[in-house]
Amino acid sequence: MSDERAGATFFTDEEILTRDEVADWLKVKPRQVERLKIPCLDLGRKTKRYARRDVAAWLQTQRRLAAGRG
């Protein structure tokens, strides 16, 4: 579970996040999380969850790809 301290949210590597939590973390709108094709756990038609470590790995890959283009 997340631990709230002074307005900040702290996550563990094993934490499962909602689309809104991922959007808050990445500072994008929730719909953009799906458009970016961030890896998720599909739990049903409208229920997707995101493993924190998968999102972090995706973010690192995006950084490497951007560095290669620049």
CATH number of 25's domain: 1.10.1660
The Cα angle at residue 18 between residues 12 and 24, in degrees rounded to 5: 80
| Amino acid 68: pLDDT | 86
| Domain count along the chain | 1
What is the distance between the alpha carbons of residues 13 and 36, in angstroms, rounded to a whole number?
A: 21
Structure tokens at 27: 């500072």
| Amino acid 1: pLDDT | 47
| Amino acid 12: pLDDT | 65
Please give the model's pTM, rounded to 2 decimal places: 0.76
Q: What DSSP designation does 28 have?
A: S
| 5-28: average pLDDT | 82
SS3 19: helix
pLDDT tens-digit profile of 23-61? 999 999 999 999 999 999 999 988 999 999 999 999 999
- What residue numbers bound the domain in which 43 lies? 3-69
